[in-house]
């Protein structure tokens, strides 16, 4: 379990390098990024250019069943590119899933990975790719936290099918330790996919509930990244643009299945990922991770329910940033508002967006058990994201937020 001191050290190590009085910031992004309708058509050219001989497709059974993954495999077939499919990806990937994927990769004698899916498929791929080239971490558990593995991951091409996690552009991935009922975050610049292919047509079959949940996950990334301790001017620019795009597009994407709105969500969530991957998050994510471990709660739903409650907790430690959040979300007359008014406006804008896309209002509604709140708080406090929260926190503070969010 991570101590609070170790969490603080991770935040410092990952986001800044200090030399005397100088501060050097780092940005890690994909080597190449393709975006747009039919972007997946670029994959064969990239595969051949990079000399890949055999690919492991990492996806889940539903994406095969509903012919989403086959949009990519069809293109590979047409171009005589060899591949095998590992489809044992779970909604909250666990240590056992990763180990199975590592074994499958070895048996397939693959040299690269194409991850097709949401955050779960891409996170599983990152863990597989890192372990293949860094076998000393074959236990998976030792990947927790911010570590500098010796070797870069097996080359990964990430093809997201949801607009939310931005796993295709981040240096983070999350794995579940089922034995201890906890999720752990891994932060490693060596895991980032070399190629990200964001094709809105890979996302157009997402049902309303998934569109809503993943969209709120993206908004949470943008807001938490904007107010985290590691935030700075470049990432602020990215996060504010992401908040704007997500706020104006998510309702139409979820409620009307509007293609332009889905395109905007696809790029908006990617822009948020460019930012938060490099500066960290906060306790919305710390508190959401245990819900996935305890109850298998979809990550986006957990974030969406918790976000306004954590925003209220953090409000007095964010300067004027809630004014900018409110403005980016379309709130009028923010320049004439008092501090308390624009902070309330930002929180209310988040609540209204959640209501408009039918996000549950309380933890009680999504199956959280009141008797588990203490254990959830302890797990959340130990999460790697805690150190990035703009307000220093404690187990008791997190427990109180859980209690408030439980009632709604």
- Average pLDDT on 334-347 reads 98
Give the pLDDT score at 141.
Answer: 95
Half-sphere exposure of 113 (CA within 13 A, CB side): 35
How far apart, in whole angstroms, are the C-alpha atoms of residue 85 and residue 108?
9
pLDDT-based confidence at 204, cuts 50/70/90?
confident
- Average pLDDT on 177-194 reads 93
Helices (H), 51-111: 61-65, 70-78, 95-108
Give the pLDDT score at 6.
Answer: 44
pLDDT, tens digit, 9 for 90 and up, residues 230-249:
999 999 999 999 999 999 99
Helices (H), 298-394: 299-314, 321-328, 339-356, 373-381
* Contact criterion met (CB below 8 Å) for 102 and 138: yes
How far apart, in whole angstroms, are the C-alpha atoms of residue 351 and residue 262?
21
Give the pLDDT score at 13.
Answer: 46
Give the pLDDT score at 314.
Answer: 98
- Average pLDDT on 46-55 reads 98
How far apart, in whole angstroms, are the C-alpha atoms of residue 240 and residue 231?
12
pLDDT-based confidence at 23, cuts 50/70/90?
confident
* CB burial of residue 5 (10 Å; 0-12, 13-18, 19+): exposed
* CB burial of residue 321 (10 Å; 0-12, 13-18, 19+): buried
Asked if domains 32-202 and 206-407 share a fold, the reply is no
Reported in sequence order, the residue ranges of 46-171 that DSSP labels E, i.e. its strands, are 54-58, 82-86, 112-117, 145-146, 156-160
> What are the beta bridge partners of residue 25?
16
Give the pLDDT score at 21.
Answer: 58
Record the tokens describing residue 288, joined without a space: 């959401």
Q: Which of 10-24, 187-201, 377-391 has the lowest mean pLDDT?
A: 10-24
Of the options 3.40.50.1970, 3.40.50.2000, 3.20.20.70, 1.10.8.420, the CATH number for the domain spanning 32-202 = 3.40.50.1970
Give the pLDDT score at 28.
Answer: 95
Place of tokens 């100088």: 22
pLDDT, tens digit, 9 for 90 and up, residues 347-403:
999 999 999 999 999 999 999 999 999 999 999 999 999 999 999 999 999 999 999
* CB burial of residue 393 (10 Å; 0-12, 13-18, 19+): buried
Give the pLDDT score at 15.
Answer: 52
β-sheet with 32-35: strand ranges across: 32-35, 195-198, 156-160, 112-117, 54-58, 82-86
Q: Is the pLDDT of residue 16 over 60?
A: no
pLDDT-based confidence at 20, cuts 50/70/90?
low
Give the pLDDT score at 148.
Answer: 80
Q: Is the pLDDT of residue 10 over 70?
A: no
pLDDT, tens digit, 9 for 90 and up, residues 210-223:
999 999 999 999 99
- Average pLDDT on 192-200 reads 97
Give the pLDDT score at 139.
Answer: 97
CATH architecture of the domain with residue range 206-407: Up-down Bundle (1.20)
Give the pLDDT score at 380.
Answer: 97
pLDDT, tens digit, 9 for 90 and up, residues 55-99:
999 999 999 999 999 999 999 999 999 999 999 999 889 999 999
Give the pLDDT score at 97.
Answer: 95
Domain ranges, ordered by start, for the chain: 32-202, 206-407
pLDDT, tens digit, 9 for 90 and up, residues 273-311:
999 999 999 999 999 999 999 999 999 999 999 999 999
Three-class secondary structure of residue 391 per DSSP: coil
| DSSP secondary structure, 220-248, as one string | HHHHHHHHSTT--HHHHHHHHHHHHHHHH
Q: Provide the mean pLDDT of the chain.
A: 94
Give the pLDDT score at 72.
Answer: 98
What's the predicted TM-score (pTM) here?
0.93
Place of tokens 């990024």: 33
Give the pLDDT score at 8.
Answer: 47
How far apart, in whole angstroms, are the C-alpha atoms of residue 254 and residue 327?
22
Cα dihedral 132→147→275→356 (10° resolution): 80
- Containing H/E element for 17? strand 16-19
pLDDT-based confidence at 147, cuts 50/70/90?
confident
* Contact criterion met (CB below 8 Å) for 81 and 49: no
Work out whether strand 22-25 and strand 16-19 pair parallel, antiparallel, or are unpaired: antiparallel
């Amino acid at each position: 379990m991570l101590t609070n001191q170790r969490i603080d050290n991770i935040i410092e190590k990952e986001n800044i390098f200090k030399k005397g009085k100088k501060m050097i910031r780092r940005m890690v992004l994909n080597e190449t990024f393709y975006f747009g309708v039919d972007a997946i058509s670029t994959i064969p050219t990239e595969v051949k250019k990079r000399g890949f001989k055999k690919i492991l497709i990492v996806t889940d059974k539903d994406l095969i069943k509903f012919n989403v993954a086959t949009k990519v495999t069809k293109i590979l077939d047409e171009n005589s590119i060899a591949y095998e499919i590992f489809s044992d990806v779970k909604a909250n990937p666990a240590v056992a899933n990763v180990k199975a994927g590592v074994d499958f990769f070895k048996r397939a004698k693959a040299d690269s990975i194409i991850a097709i899916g949401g955050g779960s498929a891409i996170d599983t791929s990152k863990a597989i790719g890192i372990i293949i080239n860094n076998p000393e971490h074959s236990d998976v558990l030792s990947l927790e936290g911010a570590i500098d593995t010796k070797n870069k991951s097996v080359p990964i091409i990430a093809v997201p099918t949801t607009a939310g996690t931005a796993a295709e552009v981040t240096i983070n991935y999350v794995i579940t330790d089922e034995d201890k009922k906890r999720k752990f975050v891994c932060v490693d610049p060596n895991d980032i996919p070399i190629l990200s292919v964001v094709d809105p047509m890979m996302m157009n079959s997402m049902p309303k509930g998934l569109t809503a949940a993943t969209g709120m996950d993206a908004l949470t990334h943008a807001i938490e990244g904007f107010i985290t301790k590691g935030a700075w001017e470049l990432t602020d620019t990215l996060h504010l643009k992401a908040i704007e795009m997500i706020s104006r597009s998510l309702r139409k994407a979820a409620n009307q299945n509007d293609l332009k709105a889905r395109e905007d969500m696809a790029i908006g969530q990617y822009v948020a990922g460019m930012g938060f991957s490099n500066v960290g998050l906060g306790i919305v994510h710390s508190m959401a991770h245990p819900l996935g471990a305890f109850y298998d709660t979809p990550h986006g739903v957990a974030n969406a329910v918790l976000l306004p409650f954590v925003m209220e907790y953090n409000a007095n430690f964010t300067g004027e940033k809630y004014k900018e959040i409110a403005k980016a979300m379309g709130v009028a007359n923010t320049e004439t508002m008092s501090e308390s008014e624009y902070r309330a406006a930002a929180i209310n804008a988040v609540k209204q967006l959640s209501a408009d896309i039918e996000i549950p209002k309380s933890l009680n509604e999504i199956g959280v058990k009141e008797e588990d709140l203490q254990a959830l708080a302890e797990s959340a406090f130990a999460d790697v994201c805690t150190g990035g929260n703009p307000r220093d926190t404690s187990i008791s503070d997190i427990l109180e937020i859980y209690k408030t969010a439980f009632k709604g």
